[in-house]
Amino acid sequence: MSKLLNIRVAQKTFGATVVLEDVELALAEQEIVALLGPSGCGKSTLLRIAAGLDLDYAGNVEYATELTARRNSGVAYVFQEPRLMPWLTVAQNIGFADGKQADQKWISQLLEEVGLGGWESALPKQLSGGMAQRVAIARGLYSRPRVLLLDEPFSAVDAFTRMKLQDLLLSLAREHGISLLLVTHDIDESLYLADRVLVMGSRPGNVRKSIHVPLPQPRNRADEWLVSLKAEALAELHESHAI
């Protein structure tokens, strides 16, 4: 598998505080990587660096030519909250980057894919939290990215909706052939979705452990292997909190 994204952060500081140090992360084609770690360890900061939203750090991010040839470097970002503009319709939110030239056919197809076919003209206030996050994912896919970066995308929805959204994300990643780099606080979610789970520590933030999840998709949430990997991830998180 060739690498789409190579991230090297020698150091990232905010004022006098070193937030990330010696972090290396590569994302291969169609790979799903989860970032797990205590609050404040720099997960969102790392994701923003990967997206090119934060350029103020020592290190570099290399994008494969396959990415740079695309719009927005072939990378799209889904935030923790849906961040929809309340005065725009669902379709206008999804195609916002293209304004009036937005591709309506593609928007309708994406809405079908996220299970919201026919909701083009609805306003964000008519949507539940889970529906709004589906729209946010559709907006992320609108530019046809090769890499989707997601920062705790399902943390605001109930457990059942969350499981449905996880399955939706997996099927979208497969259908569109995209790689995912996902920040989550949820160990089960990371092990259910990812090929690799990177457990981060803090002060300064770095990758303490990389857990390979060798199970094919779709996975059984009660799989014994996942249960044992969970124990491994938990032990590492305890260590990182103990520092």
Candidate residues 19, 23, 34, 49; the one interacting with ligand ATP per rule CB under 6 A: 19
- Tell me: does residue 42 bind ligand ATP (CB under 6 A): yes
Tokens representing residue 9 in the block: 């952060």
Of 25-33, 39-47, 56-64, 103-111, the segment contacting ligand ATP by CB under 6 A is 39-47
Backbone angles phi, psi at 233, to 5 degrees: -65, -40
Candidate residues 25, 34, 43, 135; the one interacting with ligand ATP per rule CB under 6 A: 43
At 4, is the secondary structure helix, strand, or coil?
A: strand
* First and final C-alpha spacing in the chain: 35
Q: Find tokens 């002060």 and name the residue.
A: 203
- Residue 124 site contact among Mg ion, ligand ATP, none (CB < 5 to 8 Å, cut-off depends on kind): none
Other beta carbons within 10 Å of 84: 22
Candidate residues 13, 30, 44, 161; the one interacting with Mg ion per rule CB under 5 A: 44
Tokens representing residue 242 in the block: 């103990």
Among residues 42 and 82, whose Cβ is nearest to ligand ATP?
42
- Residue 101 site contact among Mg ion, ligand ATP, none (CB < 5 to 8 Å, cut-off depends on kind): none
What is the β-pairing status of strands 32-36 and 179-184? parallel
- Residue 140 site contact among ligand ATP, Mg ion, none (CB < 5 to 8 Å, cut-off depends on kind): none
- Residue 87 site contact among Mg ion, ligand ATP, none (CB < 5 to 8 Å, cut-off depends on kind): none
Candidate residues 44, 143, 155, 171; the one interacting with ligand ATP per rule CB under 6 A: 44
- Tell me: does residue 155 bind Mg ion (CB under 5 A): no
- Contacts of 122 by beta carbon, 8 Å cutoff, 6+ apart: 89, 90
Candidate residues 34, 36, 41, 157; the one interacting with ligand ATP per rule CB under 6 A: 41
How far out from the chain centre does Cα 37 lie? 14
Q: Are the C-beta atoms of 126 and 88 separated by less than 8 Å? A: no
Contact positions toward ligand ATP, by CB under 6 A?
14, 19, 37, 39-45
